[in-house]
Amino acid sequence: MQGIEIYEENSDRLMLEQFILEHRSLVKKISLHIKKRLPSHIELDDILQAGFVGLLEARKQYKPDMGTAFDSYASIRIRGAIIDSLRKNSWGTRETMRNMRRITEAISRIEQRGQKQATSEEIAAELGISMDEHVLICQQISINNIVSIDMLDDENLLASDEDDNPSVITQKENIIQHIKDILHTLPEREQLVLSLYYIEELTFKQIGEVLELTEARICQLHSQAISKIKVKLDRDRL
């Protein structure tokens, strides 16, 4: 009896190892895609580890009658596990969200007083913090924004039942157009950073080389731009 149990245990382990080998390239592909959109100090190994956790969760939860291929389903679970891991590791925590609110509120106050775009120096002064502290907070916020936006990758999301609803489609189109309108009000450098990052898909480091700025400064500009967009969206909703 014990021999049978050992055989079954070994057989299960071999099947698991084979499963991981077969899907290793999928985990690596998603991990590399997310890695290139994050600041360089975040290790690829940490992202891969979280990705394999997502793969194993997908293996456990997947059922053929779900109506989608396993790789499509697994992609969502892998991406979700990576993003959960990033957020748990202090990026996207309550402190980060609180800091994002502080910065967006500071931007709002500055712009209401002067009717102009807030600069990094003005934001830091408004918050009573140093520029180094401001850069660090912006890095944390940028990571949180990046992983949130990355979750919207159409190639890795299952179709929603509401996708064909005309009112939902119209609402999405209006939001997208509104964001485009807001983008044109941002300082030219912030517009360029967003364009190079989201359209040209350059990393922060590569954008820094193009603009002759540090990676930290690019991260800061990205975070400020996203925060300003959020301020304007919230204000226009009122």
Query: Is residue 218 within 8 Å of residue 208, measured between CB atoms?
Result: yes
Among 52, 77, 84, CA closest to 62 = 77
Q: Could you give the CA distance from residue 154 to residue 143 in angstroms, rounded to a whole number?
A: 20
Which residues have CB under 8 Å from 202's CB, separation 6+? 196, 210
Between vectors from CA 143 to CA 95 and to CA 38, what angle results, nearest 5°? 150
Judged by average pLDDT, the poorest of 151-160, 206-215, 224-233 is 151-160
Length of the chain counted residue by residue = 238
Among 158, 216, 229, 133, CA closest to 187 = 229
Q: Higher model confidence: residue 109 or residue 158?
A: 109
Query: Is residue 51 within 8 Å of residue 31, measured between CB atoms?
Result: yes
For the chain, domains (ranges, CATH) are 1-89 (1.10.1740.10), 91-238 (1.20.140)
Which residues have CB under 8 Å from 140's CB, separation 6+? 90, 91, 96, 99
* pLDDT for residue 170 is more than 60: yes
Q: Higher model confidence: residue 169 or residue 46?
A: 46
In eight-state DSSP terms, residue 198 is: I
- Convert the pLDDT of each residue in 4-61 to its tens digit: 455 445 567 888 899 999 999 999 999 998 887 776 777 899 999 999 999 999 999 9
pLDDT at residue 204 in the model: 80
- Convert the pLDDT of each residue in 112-164 to its tens digit: 887 677 788 888 899 999 988 887 787 777 666 665 555 444 444 444 444 45
